[in-house]
Amino acid sequence: MSAMDEELPPLVDIQCKNSIFSGIRAIVFDKDGTLVDSEEFLRNLGRKRSRLIDAQIPGAGDSLLVACGLDGNTLDPAGLLAVGSRRENEIAAAVYVAETGRGWLESVEIARQAFDEADQMLKDTAPSPLFVGCLETLEALSKAGLKLGILSADTTVRVREFVARHQLEPYIQLEMGVDSGPSKPDPSLFLDACRALGVEPSQTLMVGDSPLDIKMGKQAGAAGCIGICWGQPATAHLQAADVTIAQLDEIQVSS
């Protein structure tokens, strides 16, 4: 039976601060920076990648850090490392390698190998924790009858690993990453997510910490786009969101 053939979930009203979204059947969440506090891991990953590339191409590493949005211990929430897919980060790295005079195919291979090696070096790193209150919020929204999905710029394999690691299977009906083809903010990703959940975009909310999440949802005709900043004071990158919240439990079922 396809998702579209299943019984539709109930229509629910969702309140965030002073905003009310009526007639909602599903909510799609970004993963990193939205459900999971992955900033430390991403900083370490970006540094490992740049150092491995710099070891082969001296000088390329520092430029790559800047391009990825890493400045010391600060990770730009709108930067490439925070919002881009692995493929997009690989291409950016390859560009900086190619600027040193290497051929394009060789540059792509150097970047790919460095990224694979960085993954291996960090594979035993303790998993990034869920943000406080995420589990309880997902449980409450699921109990209200809403369909919940994850749409991440990470790979689908890693999204599934994340859901299994944190035992979110009872609440999450969609585990979707970017493996090939379009990346955020291409609206086709959100449309595909809604199709897989068996709901209309106009009855689905998008929740994310990136301007790409917001743009994707807007272009796909989402019922609303909720930006989340987890208490960070600088939220200019989320100004296009319908509402910006500081923590996930501000998404509540309206009584």
CATH ID of 3-37+128-253, from 3.40.50.1000, 3.40.1280.10, 3.40.50.880, 1.10.3720.10? 3.40.50.1000
Work out the pLDDT band at 93, boundaries 50, 70, 90. Answer: very high
Name the H helices within 69-204: 80-83, 86-98, 104-121, 134-143, 156-165, 187-197
Give me the amino acid identity at 43.
R
Among left, alpha and beta (phi > 0; psi -120 to 50; other), residue 216 is alpha
Domain ranges of the chain: 3-37+128-253, 39-121
Q: What is the pTM of this model?
A: 0.88
C-alpha torsion sign, points 91, 95, 100, 104: positive
Q: What is the DSSP string of 120-132?
A: HHTTTSPPPPBPT
- Predicted confidence at residue 180, as pLDDT, reads 82
Give residue-wise pLDDT tens across range 14-64.
Answer: 999 999 999 999 999 999 999 999 999 999 999 999 999 999 998 888 888
Question: Cα–Cα distance between 29 and 210 in angstroms, integer?
Answer: 11
Structure tokens belonging to residue 168: 């979110």
Give residue-wise pLDDT tens across range 144-177.
Answer: 999 999 999 999 999 999 999 999 999 999 999 9
Contact 247, 229 (CB under 8 A): no
**Is residue 75 over pLDDT 90?**
no
Q: Chain-wide mean pLDDT for the chain?
A: 92
Question: Cα–Cα distance between 186 and 205 in angstroms, integer?
Answer: 16
Q: Is 110 helix (H, G, I), strand (E, B) or coil?
A: helix
**Is residue 74 over pLDDT 90?**
no
**Which phi and psi (to 5°) does residue 250 adopt?**
-80, -10
Give residue-wise pLDDT tens across range 217-242.
Answer: 999 999 999 999 987 766 788 999 99
**Is residue 123 over pLDDT 80?**
yes
**Is residue 2 over pLDDT 60?**
no
Structure tokens belonging to residue 40: 């430390």
The enclosing H or E element of 147 equals: strand 147-151
Question: Cα–Cα distance between 73 and 1 in angstroms, integer?
Answer: 48
Structure tokens belonging to residue 229: 């900043």
Based on C-alpha coordinates, what's the Rg of the chain? 19
